[in-house]
Each structure stands twice: as C-alpha cells, then as structure tokens.
Structure 1
C-alpha cells in the first residue's frame, strides 16, 4: 500500500510541476490543404484563459471547375505540449458557408447553389519555433448539412498551417 501511495504521490508531483510550453496569445496565417475541403483558408488563433486553450477562426475559399465556395469555421482547441516546441491539439467546432455549383444541369431548376452549415472535429501536431513562426499539420473531419448534394456529406480535410505569432 505504501508503494502505491508513494508512486501516486510522485506521479502527481511530477505532473503538477511540469513546465508546459505556453501558446502564443495570437497567431495569424494560412491553412493550406484540402481533400474534399477547401484549397486555402486565412486562419486566426486566439489564446483563451491560462490553460493553453484557444479559439481558431478560419475563412476559406475554393474555386475549381465544379464549384466556387466560401466557408467560415470556428473551433475550440485544447493544446498539450509533447516536448520542446512540439505540441499536439484536439478540438471541435462548427461553421457555415455558401456554394455556387458551376456544373451544367439538364434542368435549370436542379441547381446545387446555396448556404450550408457543418460541424467539425480537429486533431493535429504543431511546432512552435523560437522565432514567431508556427507550423502545423492537422486533420479536420467535417459533416455538412444542406439541401444540396455538393456539401451534404462527410468531408475529410488535411491541411498544413503556417502562422505568424504575436
């Protein structure tokens, strides 16, 4: 019993005295990637509280042969230090957007233009350099809801982020 208590006390002491790396108060940059998602997003991160939590807002757009789209996503993220400048994070959020389907239809009334909403998860890894640069790689599964076939489904989104911290 004494060994269990001693191990538990040492573990709690080590956990409570760890020096976790603090995240930057603000970061702004680009999130580039896609999958079925969007080609580029302007990304802003804002630290919340003292617990390495943050809010991420992304404004994305896509222009290709099939459709044009714009979306706004908001995610709450929890950030944990791995070692040194490496962090990993997980989060959840939602967003909204609009899509303009450019495909030709036989019937003009069978359009897929309009607004949509989505929910999203987020998991990733990042490196915080000694200079004000933050690089990240993340996976964001999104589930869209609309009356339009273009957005009404699951969309895996893998992206690389490059952000300036201030």
Structure 2
C-alpha cells in the first residue's frame, strides 16, 4: 500500500511539473495598439514567479499640437493552454499626461487610470514571444474620464 501511495504521489508530481508553462525571466519589445491615441508602446515584462509577472508599458507622442505620454503597470497571472500557447489575465493602472500646444487653449493635464488585461501568447523555441491582448482602461481626469478599450498585438524578445 505504501509503495502504491508513493508511486501515485511521484506520478502526480511529475504530471504537475511537466505541464507547467515556462515564462521568460525578462522580455522587451513593442505593443502595437491604439493606446488612447498614442499608438505603439515600449513594453517590458519581468517574471515574479512560476506563473506570474509584472508588465510595464510606456507610450509617448510628440506632435505639433500636443505632447502626451502614458505609463502602465500590470500584474499578470499566466496559464498554459496547449504546448507553447498561454493565456493571461492581469490588473493594474497607470498615469497619463497630455500637454496641448495649439489646441484646447494650451490645456495640460495629468490623470490616473485603472486597467485590466486579458490575452493569449505564443512562446517560440527561439527567444520570441507574440501576444494579442484586450485592455479595458477607466480614466480619472478630464481628458481620460471614460472607459477605453484597447486591443493590441505585441512582439517581444525574451532573455
């Protein structure tokens, strides 16, 4: 009976270890989406454990009529789907700043926002990670006082 119990325990442990996903310690790249009109963002991910990580995204735009930046931080939980596919969900927030030069009477504002995140990613055998995510954001300020939905494609180098 003891042998059967130990064998079952060892087999069960092997199954859990062999089905765990591998997330990279670090990944850096571009997140290509709307980002509230800012477009592409520089994105960085840092593993915090076996199945969770921190993602930080920075987007900016410098134009003739306005300057703007947006910094987002998200805590994510990563779950295996099949093979190299994972799905993830996360929550966080950030800060955004808008500085109107020739529009809106030169208005400037800095605002906070809350964000959620859900997506799917494919982890290649080479150090490449592709993902598609959906990020709702709820802003707290005059120019970000609404609910915004952002869909983006990301490409990251893993190291």
Q: What CA distance in whole angstroms lies between the structure 2 residues aligned with 1:86 and 1:64?
A: 38
Residues 66 and 88 (structure 1), Cα distance of their counterparts in 2 relative to 1, 3 Å cut: farther
Equivalent residue number for residue 99 of structure 2:
100
Which residue is 2:155 aligned to? 162
CA contact (8 A) 2:66 2:103 kept: no
Which aligned pairs between 1:1-166 and structure 2 lie closer than 5 A? 13=12, 17=16, 19-34=19-34, 36-50=36-50, 52-63=51-62, 67-102=66-101, 104-105=103-104, 108=105, 112-146=107-141, 148=142, 150-166=143-159
Normalized against structure 2, the TM-score is what? Answer: 0.83
- The TM-score normalised by the length of structure 1 is 0.79
2:69–2:97: 8 Å Cα contact kept in structure 1?
yes
RMSD over equivalenced CA pairs, Å: 2.4
> What are structure 2's unaligned runs of at least 5 residues?
1-7
Provide the rounded CA distance (Å) in 2 between the counterparts of 1:66 and 1:28.
Answer: 30
Residue 35 (structure 1) shift: 6.3
Q: Deviations over 1:74-102 (max 9, x none)?
A: 00000001011100000000101211235
Q: How many residues align?
A: 148
Q: 3-state DSSP class of the match of 2:71?
A: strand
Secondary structure of 1:27's partner? strand
